[in-house]
Amino acid sequence: MNLSEAEILKQCAKMCENTLMETLSISFCEVGENYLVAKMPVTPKVHQPDGVLHGGAMVALAESVGSAASYIFLDARDFFIRGIEISANHVKSVREGYVFARAEIIHKGKTTQLWDIKIRDEEKNLVSIVKLTTIALPKTR
């Protein structure tokens, strides 16, 4: 990586402005050699009617962190990154606090990328396992 961790996190924060990520209060909090972590507060705004974190909000968190990781690790200034397939298995309910999504690359192709995303609560309990496939589409000039 050519950018520092602080620069990457700042770039991720800028990408969130006026997007679904901002609406869900998703923020990026850690980056490493081949992973990116984002967090989301668990509040009534992302609850199901019975007061637990909505699975769709977890999937939005996972796609957000995986797509941002693709953008960063592919140095994708010349590409649009899009999610093309996502599957999630939710294994634990959360009512409050924060959840953290860590995206790690499984396959880094020139066109498609495969991400393993684990969502955990503040006590590091596994909440959801997500697999995301992204595609890098060339920007037309």
- CATH at 95: 3.10.129.10
Residue whose C-alpha is closest to residue 58's, from 121, 126, 119: 119
Res 54: pLDDT: 97
pLDDT tens figures, 23-38: 999 999 999 988 999 9
Q: Domain total for the chain? A: 1
Which is more confidently placed, 65 or 8? 65
pLDDT band per the 50, 70, 90 thresholds, residue 4: confident
Range of the domain at 90: 5-138
- The question of whether 5 is a catalytic residue gets the answer no
Residue whose C-alpha is closest to residue 26's, from 45, 5, 2, 7: 45
pLDDT tens figures, 35-59: 999 999 999 999 999 999 999 999 9
Task: Give me the catalytic one of 17, 63, 96, 122.
Answer: 63
pLDDT tens figures, 79-134: 888 999 999 999 999 999 999 999 999 999 989 999 999 999 999 999 999 999 99
CA angle centred on 109, ends 107 and 111, rounded to 5°: 130
